Structure 1
Amino acid sequence: MRKLIIYGVLLLLLASCRKERFISATDVLEQNPRLEEVLEACGDDSLKRQAALFLLENLPYYYSYERSTALDAHLKTYELYGTGKYSLEEVQDSVRKLYGNTNLAGLRLVSDVKIKPDLLIDHLEWAFKVWREQPWGKNVSFHDFCEYILPYRIKDEPLKAWREEIYKKYNPMLDAVRKLPEAEDPLFVARVLLDSISREDSHFNASLGYGPHVGPDLVKWVSGNCRELTDRLIYIFRAVGIPCGCDYMPLRGDANVAHYWNFVQDKYGDSYYMYEKRAIEPVRTFFGARSKIYRQTFSLNRDMQAGKRGKPEDVWPGFRYPCSQDVTRLYSGKNTYDFVIPVEKCFRAIASDEVVYLCASTRLDWQPVAWTYPSEEGMIFKEVAGGVVLMLAVYESGRLVPVSEPFELNKETGGIHYFEVSDKQEEVCLLNKYNQLYELFPQHMVGGVFEGSNIRDFSVKDTLFVINQNPLRLHNVVVLRGMKPYRYVRYYGPENSYCDVSEVAFYETAKDTCALQGKPMGTSNAPDGDLTHDYTNVFDGDHCTSFRYRLPSGGWAGLDLGCPYRIGKIVFTPRNRDNYIYKGETYELFYSSQGEWNSAGTQVAVSDSLLYTVPKGALFYLKNYTRGKDERIFEYDEGIQRYW
């Protein structure tokens, strides 16, 4: 549903350009003469006229959608979820009852070339007002003003005049600092404003964010995933004259989805990243795996466009008319690499005018994050961050076709390691289908201790077992010998772990299959903490409920067994996202070879692990057909699933 351009309008405008390589404001005015009113409204203000021309020449790269039931249903989802009164499932059910089953794929596009002049004039006037009246505006260049304050829209959201309403709500929040000398720095003012915004309730849900951008109503609804909450801050900051925009990864380096966040600039033009509930930090301190990071611009990247050969329709849609610039080096500095994939590593010959795409993984598919043309040396890619798995592809007949094996770009050295299947076979033992280290839950149990006592307050206690490595499976089993009887047993979390744990069961002997029963006891989150994650969850038999103590340290969960028992076995499960192997569920393992995902077989799990015999050295993907959606590529290295 994420179309990036109205190709029919572009072709019409390009035809009118004759020998010009790029669409100009003159071409746009030929298509919509009413837009002359925008230039007339500028009067003798030369800067305002330049800004108006900047908007006009980029209009063809933007569009909205015709009003429809499907679009109304899409927007209503965010509005209802933003009330904070309902779960996403309740909201979606209500929207279905109101609008029926809708399909966003049928939305009809309306080019911004048809935009009403009054709307552009309103945005132009308000953008110049805040740029010129705010003390920090003197340190915002005209270029940055055009890209990060002036734009009337972000992507494909419904068009409306939004600046005045948002300005009147948020500009007063800056009255207390406006006359300070520091207020000449937009970074200082951004931090003040973010402090106020962060106190507002927000309603985040990663399952939102599919379909058109929502638009400026997000300022009051405050709902969505990272894309929508990023859009919201852009509207607010631009409305008060602070240069702000969106930086993004087309795909995260360790996940299957794109990721979005805000940036602002200081008086020197240096960039800082921010999230709605976090501080503003230099971009070099940004965390997370990445291959490429781009910055959304309002203008077409003409340098990138000028370097292309052949027809636009032969280019993957995401790079046909890019309104973005590569800022990977801003974030990764010396940890970006230029590297070459030799032609002999490709499955077939690549023509000199054929675009080759550097792709990252999304489930059983790949998506471009950069592109190049082949040279005699091979496929050269510049300024790519390491620590990710990538692959090369070409775009043929409307689809991406892999032309290389997946490879790792080493984070420390920039070296290349190819995942090439070997003639040798190995047995692999699989414990999960998604990275259990992603949420740090297993690490939070390292250093945790199981204790036994015959005194209720554990003032005298014995250590039964200390967890000394990451527990990565559903059922982590500890067999004990020579233990004396204890009435009270517990799990005590290590320092700064919040005592994260899902399940603990104590058994009298190693062969027992029925756990000892008792009365739960522990450090409660009552009365002010999160009772949905209280200590009683540790003994409810449900691996998807868990205990998270309200304080970083001192948390524990235990049982009063009623009378002393010898403990012969402990079985425990870390807090988790429900991505372990479950008995009775159906799985299929795939491995990559010659650009295809090949099946290593389907199994119904008989325990909390799966055993497969597979080619050594391959890249893998495990799919659960029974339930769940979190799955990710991995390699098998020295008996461990290493996720990418």
Structure 2
Amino acid sequence: MLRLAFRRTLAILSVAAVCACSRYGAAVDRALRYAGDNRAELEKVLDHYRQNPADSQKYRAAEYLIRHMPYHTSYSAESYYAYCDALDSLFSSDTDGDELLAKTNAIAAEFKPLLTLSFDIQVIEADYLIWNIDYSFTQWQTLDYLRHLRFEDFCEYILPYKCAEKQPLDTWKRDWVDFGRGELDYIGQIKDYKFNARRAAEAVNAHFEDSVKMQRVKDVKLIEVLRLNTLAKQPYGDCFDRSRFGLLNCRSKGIPVAFDFTPNWPDRSGGHYWNNILATKRRNIDYEPFRSYPGSYHYTDNGLAKVFRETYAPHPLLLEALEREGSIPKSLSRLFMKDVTDEYGRTVDISVPLSGKRAGTKYAYLAVFDNSQWVPVDIGRIRRNRASFTSVGRDILYLVVGFRDGTIIPISEPFIVDSRGGIAFPHADTTRFGTIRLDRKFPAFSHIYSIKRYLQKGRIQAADNPGFRRAETVAELPEWNLLSGEIAPSDTLPRRYWRLMSSSNKSTDFAELYFYEKETGQRITGTLFSPSVPIRNPNYDTPGHINDNDPLTYFAVQDSTRWVGFDFGKPVALEKIAYIRRGDGNAICPGDEYGLYYWQDGGWKLLERKRAERIYIDFDQVPLGGLYYIKGLSRGEQDRVFLYADGVPVWY
């Protein structure tokens, strides 16, 4: 959450200032009071443009910057760029692997106490602000791909002296304008490209596609890098860092690119960051640098609860809540942003009845579930015991929560905004009970489908000899099933040797294989054996993966040469053969323990802890009609909420 220190600092400044008749309008005068001893520098900027009627638009621009300047903070350029210089030197060296990671973290730890933040309004100099305004207007008036910008767009995309919070106050626009321009200076010769902002963004980003190699590393502890040439060398990063690079790179060339994000996906953990172009023609275009090019596929099929765009102006309701209550949730702490969910999908305005304790607050937060907890993704007002939110994404599960002293408190029942904009409240009926069967603890997403070519059919054979002479094919595993399943063998005569092989000359991947005896129905295991063939890759050529009780490892069988066999020590007849395909590790695994919860009275209630015996698990005596949560207690972090209808889970 934003610290109470922000509120206290501005409160002290405003109390210390003397209220006088406004020379500049109430909003600007209020900001000037926050400037304290630096007020004269800001008035110098306003007076500079006020003198000349020809500068009326620049005066409005100066008002805009000053009006929204409180709460903006920046690093001292000297100490921050010393930090960047140290990283540059390291990233340009031959150091790699664990040593590079350790030295990167050591540099961050060394500089962290040296990097101080100052409120921009207390330290910004008149000459710098005047230079920035004049330079930005020159960009607007001379760059072909900016001719479609209105003054309001110019103020948000081109005018600001910073495009990322904490960015040092310096001449970065001029300093980086020639860095990595790519084909930007060539495209203007082509009519279709000359005035095209999308093409401009593509031209400068394509220049770095082969050189910028940011990889996600769990243990890196970098302080956010906000210098373009250092970011270009940075070996670590995720969607946030890539999109920061895209923003700094484009904005330094005056290309109208924004930094968009969702605080949290509505159906999994974590958020996502990307760039958005204020396009010259057609709709605005979103993309993630070095993962998708402007105009290509970018999470088009994924639902979004809320999307925000980083801006120079603060979010008015979040600012109000921060100033009145002293803190806001961490997931919404990017104070400078605006709601752009309408640009990304179908939305609806909603009003939700409240049921929990409000603790006197006037503000409510709309939350989604992130696999383990509720995460606020929007703010709304409370009136007459109802919370109202605008532009809410559809076909998503939500909960209204309150926020006080760092604690999130449910103040409504969970509800679903359906694809038509209607609202439904699932409610567990403790007078009616049924059985829930699950074969997964998490929905299957597109990355599983993307490896479909490796999930061919598969064949089970049985024989009385380890060489499988005169072997009989007793089961063909269906190609349509990309997840897990079980099948009854066509022949239940006892055999000692069984094997899994491919149905063709193509490779087909399996994570686990299970055998259930006919007489007892119990799972049995045999001694593993396989032909001696060259190892292509230990990740998928290790036969032991097929029964190592780890659904994230797998073995690839192929044609008649690469297979895996099981010696049960005696002839056995099988009732069922179960399998888990190569996937995401979220199939129900025999031997693992799971907990089923349902929502009641403002929280999750544990119904039962149970160990799976099959590739599915049954929970009995479940209150019907409720919202449920399946949690893997033996492994993994991906657990999910769902409804249950017509014998299958409906994941949210």
> TM (normalized to structure 2)?
0.76
Do the aligned partners of 1:65 and 1:156 also contact (CA within 8 Å) in 2?
A: no
Residue 219 (structure 1) aligned with residue 225 (structure 2): no
In 2, the alpha carbon distance for the partners of 1:285 and 1:602 equals: 35
Residue 231 (structure 1) aligned with residue 238 (structure 2): no
SS of the residue 2:369 aligns to: strand
SS of the residue 1:401 aligns to: strand
What residue number does 1:288 align with? 302
1:110-163 Cα offsets, whole Å, 9 max, x none, are 322234436656655654454344322323333222212333334444526433
Structure 1 residues 140 and 112: CA distance shift in structure 2, 3 A: same
In 1, the alpha carbon distance for the partners of 2:77 and 2:513 equals: 56
What residue number does 1:621 align with? 629
Q: Report the more deviating stretch, 170-179 or 480-489.
A: 480-489
Give the CA deviation at 1:195: 3.2
Do the aligned partners of 2:349 and 2:389 also contact (CA within 8 Å) in 1?
A: yes
Q: Report the more deviating stretch, 146-155 or 66-75.
A: 66-75
What residue number does 1:518 align with? 530
What residue number does 1:9 align with? 9
Do the aligned partners of 2:372 and 2:639 also contact (CA within 8 Å) in 1?
A: no
SS of the residue 1:248 aligns to: strand
What residue number does 1:27 align with? 33
Give the CA deviation at 1:57: 2.6
1:467-510 Cα offsets, whole Å, 9 max, x none, are 2664545xx4433223999999633599xxx9673436597987
Residue 173 (structure 1) aligned with residue 183 (structure 2): yes
In 2, the alpha carbon distance for the partners of 1:627 and 1:13 equals: 52
Structure 1 residues 206 and 263: CA distance shift in structure 2, 3 A: farther
1:275-324 Cα offsets, whole Å, 9 max, x none, are 1121323999933111122222111244x479979934386576699422
SS of the residue 2:248 aligns to: helix
What residue number does 1:364 align with? 372
In 2, the alpha carbon distance for the partners of 1:113 and 1:405 equals: 43
In 2, the alpha carbon distance for the partners of 1:17 and 1:521 equals: 85
Structure 1 residues 41 and 327: CA distance shift in structure 2, 3 A: same
1:74-113 Cα offsets, whole Å, 9 max, x none, are 99899979999756x7655555667779999x99653222
Give the CA deviation at 1:325: 1.9
SS of the residue 1:170 aligns to: coil
Do the aligned partners of 1:233 and 1:262 also contact (CA within 8 Å) in 2?
A: yes
Do the aligned partners of 2:4 and 2:326 also contact (CA within 8 Å) in 1?
A: no
1:548-603 Cα offsets, whole Å, 9 max, x none, are 99xxxx9999428699x999675432223334455666654433222222233555
Do the aligned partners of 2:526 and 2:566 also contact (CA within 8 Å) in 1?
A: no
What residue number does 1:383 align with? 391
* 1:383 partner letter: S
The alignment's C-alpha RMSD in Å is 5.1
* 1:400 partner letter: I
Give the CA deviation at 1:26: 3.1
SS of the residue 1:232 aligns to: helix
- For residues 96-135 of structure 1, the aligned pairs below 5 Å read 109-117=117-125, 120=129, 123-124=132-133, 127-135=136-144
Residue 190 (structure 1) aligned with residue 201 (structure 2): yes
Give the CA deviation at 1:445: 7.8
Residue 559 (structure 1) aligned with residue 563 (structure 2): yes
Give the CA deviation at 1:406: 0.9
Residue 150 (structure 1) aligned with residue 163 (structure 2): no
In 1, the alpha carbon distance for the partners of 2:79 and 2:151 equals: 40
SS of the residue 1:590 aligns to: strand
Do the aligned partners of 1:392 and 1:403 also contact (CA within 8 Å) in 2?
A: yes
1:179-208 Cα offsets, whole Å, 9 max, x none, are 332211212222333333333342232748
Give the CA deviation at 1:359: 1.6
Do the aligned partners of 2:286 and 2:298 also contact (CA within 8 Å) in 1?
A: no
In 2, the alpha carbon distance for the partners of 1:86 and 1:487 equals: 47
In 2, the alpha carbon distance for the partners of 1:481 and 1:348 equals: 60
What residue number does 1:204 align with? 215
In 1, the alpha carbon distance for the partners of 2:379 and 2:594 equals: 35
Give the CA deviation at 1:52: 3.7
Partner residue of 1:414 out of 417, 421, 424: 421
What residue number does 2:23 align with? none
Structure 1 residues 23 and 199: CA distance shift in structure 2, 3 A: farther
What residue number does 1:577 align with? 584
* 2:531 partner letter: K
- For residues 239-388 of structure 1, the aligned pairs below 5 Å read 239-267=252-280, 270-276=283-289, 277-281=291-295, 286-302=300-316, 304=317, 311-313=324-326, 322-332=335-345, 335-341=346-352, 343=353, 346-347=355-356, 354-375=362-383, 378-388=386-396
Larger radius of gyration: 2
Structure 1 residues 24 and 374: CA distance shift in structure 2, 3 A: closer
Give the CA deviation at 1:14: 4.6
Structure 1 residues 166 and 209: CA distance shift in structure 2, 3 A: farther
* 1:517 partner letter: F
Partner residue of 1:138 out of 147, 154, 159: 147
SS of the residue 1:400 aligns to: strand
Do the aligned partners of 1:347 and 1:594 also contact (CA within 8 Å) in 2?
A: no
In 2, the alpha carbon distance for the partners of 1:75 and 1:426 equals: 64
Identity of aligned residues (%): 20
Residue 448 (structure 1) aligned with residue 456 (structure 2): yes
> Could you list the runs of 5+ residues in structure 1 that have no partner in the other structure?
none
Q: Report the more deviating stretch, 485-494 or 115-124.
A: 485-494
Do the aligned partners of 1:252 and 1:259 also contact (CA within 8 Å) in 2?
A: yes
Do the aligned partners of 1:538 and 1:545 also contact (CA within 8 Å) in 2?
A: no
Aligned residues: 615
* 1:620 partner letter: Y
> Could you list the runs of 5+ residues in structure 2 that have no partner in the other structure?
21-25
In 1, the alpha carbon distance for the partners of 2:452 and 2:369 equals: 28
- For residues 31-42 of structure 1, the aligned pairs below 5 Å read 31-32=37-38, 33-35=40-42
Structure 1 residues 623 and 75: CA distance shift in structure 2, 3 A: farther
Partner residue of 1:634 out of 637, 642, 646: 642
Do the aligned partners of 2:365 and 2:401 also contact (CA within 8 Å) in 1?
A: yes
Do the aligned partners of 2:512 and 2:579 also contact (CA within 8 Å) in 1?
A: yes
In 1, the alpha carbon distance for the partners of 2:602 and 2:222 equals: 29
1:261-283 Cα offsets, whole Å, 9 max, x none, are 11001225841111112132399
